[in-house]
């Protein structure tokens, strides 16, 4: 049975490994400090304030809106930092070490030199108690925490990176390996998935109202948020989670003639910079989240404002800014919304003739969404679990059939594919004859559920592998027309619905029979 130290390490290893990637602090040392300082996460400070490293609240922390709790340590009623979550505590611990000159010598050490780091922290006076270094080293070696250091080193070596030296995660061209001075705000291999673009929209908080959305919402959850250009100046940091935009950072970039571009990042779970800092492309400036009073779920809102040389400003479409960044940095990424690349119309080669990317079929596009790590909306297990692969094939093929029979345009088909992928739901009512409503729903890692309303009864039925196989055989049959596929799928769906209804009626009958027997016994 795993001991308390091992349980703690396994729970928070990813936090420590991420900080090692960003700052070069050995994950083993961070975990050992957390174990020691927080009593395996069971101390009052850890339980009440999410503070796992005993970090005290400075005046600058308090002035920036940081919360604190009062505890007796060296003196009564000392102020200790309070965090929204443990991840914020780990991030602030790294910043605390990085920004404190006492620990500068530690950052000259190799990222996997846990003994040197432990001794350096001890020498710099991290803890007032004696024998701090031997205690950390003992925790590390007795729990094999150095394995997390090796994992990070192997991972980053494979990418040609070094822990702590590549805050940047700079973009590189696949053809020649050149590094550029520009980055997208999130690390992606292929595309950003935009849930709400710039422009007029229905207010997500009050659907009865229309509002101007002055930014762009990007699907993500607890991810590193990156600066987009070199030599950016941090002009604003808000650490108050209870404001409209929640925790936020604003970075300013110079333009010719005294003009400027300001990029704001809202709804962060934590910030990694302070006002006055200079940041470079790809440098982490915070972690995405869901803070603020005007948010309905985890995402990153970026806003872009053009500041003229006379000081006047106007909001601009972030898609236009990202198109500029992509072109200058030769970044081969796109910003996708409803099957469209929002950057296309701002690309210099397409300014006169904007085009919509329809190179993929709706079926191919949805499969791409559901299987790509970049989308954040995938169906888990695809490519590994044969049942989930069958689910994927069925889901995308049914969607394609549903939009084709409605004679929708390519743009409409792409939009419907995106919506279906996001909701993991397809309206099969046009296919399922004789039914008032028929919807196919797929939850993460689960087989599809058919939801049916016949007009007199409502029920659900879980599709078996045999059901899915029959549908897939029909949908993949190239000899059948769309109308023929529709008729056969309708028959299969109708049969599934009939069996589900019979089963429901049977169980209801048995339940009523049992109830009548119970009544007679009484």
Q: How confident is the model at residue 462 (pLDDT cuts 50, 70, 90)?
A: confident
Q: Residue 139: pLDDT above 80?
A: yes
Contact 358, 217 (CB under 8 A): no
Greater model confidence, 430 or 271: 271
What pLDDT is stored for residue 518 in this prediction?
Answer: 40
Q: Residues 212-227: what's their mean pLDDT?
A: 89
Q: Which of 43-47, 192-196, 220-224 has the highest mean pLDDT?
A: 43-47
For the ranges 10-14, 340-344, 464-468, 497-501, which has the lowest average pLDDT?
Answer: 497-501
Residue positions counted in the chain:
522
Q: What is the pLDDT of residues 45-71, one digit of tens each?
A: 999 999 999 999 888 788 767 788 998
State whether residue 314 is helix, strand or coil.
Answer: strand
Q: Which of 32-46, 413-427, 476-490 has the highest mean pLDDT?
A: 32-46
Q: Please count the other Cβ atoms lying within 10 Å of the Cβ belonging to residue 388.
A: 18
Question: What domains are there in the chain, each with its CATH number?
Answer: 4-158 (1.10.530.10), 191-332 (2.70.70.10), 362-507 (no CATH)
Q: Residues 68-95: what's their mean pLDDT?
A: 86
Q: Residue 508: pLDDT above 70?
A: no
Q: What letters, b where the CB count within 10 A reaches 16 and e where it falls short, cover 67-99?
A: bbbebeeeeeeebbbbbbebbbbbbbbbbbbbe
What pLDDT is stored for residue 438 in this prediction?
Answer: 83
Tell me the C-alpha to C-alpha distance, in Å, between residue 95 and each of 14, 25, 36, 227.
17, 11, 19, 17
Q: What is the pLDDT of residues 291-348, one digit of tens each?
A: 998 888 889 999 999 998 888 888 899 999 998 888 888 787 788 877 678 888 786 5
What pLDDT is stored for residue 142 in this prediction?
Answer: 94
Q: What is the pLDDT of residues 354-406, one digit of tens each?
A: 344 456 676 776 776 676 666 666 665 444 466 777 777 788 778 777 766 55
For the ranges 114-123, 289-298, 442-451, which has the lowest average pLDDT?
Answer: 442-451
Q: Residues 179-203: what's their mean pLDDT?
A: 81
What pLDDT is stored for residue 304 in this prediction?
Answer: 94
Q: Residues 131-153: what's their mean pLDDT?
A: 93
Nearest Cα to Cα of residue 68 among 88, 86, 48: 48
Q: How far apart (Å, rounded) are the C-alpha atoms in residues 438 and 428?
A: 5
Greater model confidence, 154 or 496: 154
Q: How confident is the model at residue 85 (pLDDT cuts 50, 70, 90)?
A: confident
Write down the mean pLDDT value for the chain: 80
Q: Residue 235: pLDDT above 70?
A: yes
Contact 430, 438 (CB under 8 A): no
Q: Residues 36-49: what's their mean pLDDT?
A: 92
């Amino acid at each position: 049975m795993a001991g308390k130290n091992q349980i703690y390490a396994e729970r928070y290893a990813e936090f420590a490994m991420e900080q090692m990637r960003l700052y070069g602090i050995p994950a083993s040392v961070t975990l050992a400090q957390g174990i020691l300082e927080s009593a395996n996460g069971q101390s009052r400070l850890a339980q009440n304030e999410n503070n796992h490293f005993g970090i005290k609240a400075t005046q600058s922390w308090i002035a920036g809106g940081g919360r604190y709790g009062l505890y007796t340590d060296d003196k009564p009623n000392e102020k200790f930092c309070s965090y929204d979550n443990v991840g914020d505590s780990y991030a602030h611990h790294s910043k605390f070490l990085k920004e404190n000159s006492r620990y500068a010598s530690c950052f000259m050490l190799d990222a996997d030199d846990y003994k040197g780091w432990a001794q350096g922290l001890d020498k710099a006076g991290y803890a007032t108690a004696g024998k701090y270094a031997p205690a950390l080293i003992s925790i590390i070696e007795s729990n094999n925490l150095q394995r997390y250091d090796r994992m990070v080193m192997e991972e980053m070596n494979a990418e040609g990176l070094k822990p702590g030296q590549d805050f940047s995660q700079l973009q590189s061209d696949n053809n020649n390996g050149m590094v550029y001075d520009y980055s997208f705000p999130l690390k992606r291999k292929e595309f950003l998935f935009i849930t709400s673009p710039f422009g007029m929209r229905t207010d997500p908080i009050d659907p009865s109202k229309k509002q101007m959305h002055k930014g762009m919402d990007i699907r993500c959850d607890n991810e590193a948020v990156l600066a987009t250009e070199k030599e950016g100046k941090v002009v604003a940091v808000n650490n108050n989670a209870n404001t409209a935009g929640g925790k936020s950072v604003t970075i300013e970039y110079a333009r010719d003639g005294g003009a400027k571009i300001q990029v704001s990042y809202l709804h962060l779970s934590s910030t990694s910079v302070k006002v006055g800092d200079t940041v470079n492309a790809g440098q982490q400036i915070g972690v995405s989240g869901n803070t603020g009073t005007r948010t309905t779920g985890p995402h990153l809102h970026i806003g872009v404002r053009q500041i003229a040389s006379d000081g006047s400003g106007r909001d601009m479409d972030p898609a236009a800014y990202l198109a500029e960044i992509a072109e200058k940095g030769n970044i081969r990424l796109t910003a996708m919304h409803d099957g469209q690349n929002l950057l296309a119309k701002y690309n210099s080669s397409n300014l006169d003739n904007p085009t919509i990317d329809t190179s993929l079929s709706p079926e191919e596009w949805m499969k791409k969404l559901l299987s790509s790590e970049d989308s954040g909306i995938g169906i888990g297990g695809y490519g590994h679990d044969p049942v989930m692969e069958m689910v994927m094939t069925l889901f995308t093929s049914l969607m394609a059939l549903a939009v084709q029979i409605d004679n929708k345009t390519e743009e409409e088909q792409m939009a419907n594919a995106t919506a279906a992928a996001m909701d993991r739901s397809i309206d099969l009512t046009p296919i399922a004859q004789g039914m008032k409503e028929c919807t196919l729903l797929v939850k993460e890692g689960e087989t599809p559920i058919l939801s049916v309303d016949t007009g007199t009864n409502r029920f659900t039925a879980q599709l078996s592998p045999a059901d899915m196989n029959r549908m897939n055989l029909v949908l993949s049959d190239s000899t059948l027309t769309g109308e023929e596929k529709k008729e056969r799928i309708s028959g299969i769906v109708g049969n599934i619905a009939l069996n589900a209804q019979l089963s429901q009626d049977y169980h209801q009958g048995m339940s009523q029979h049992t109830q009548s027997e119970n009544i007679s016994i009484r």
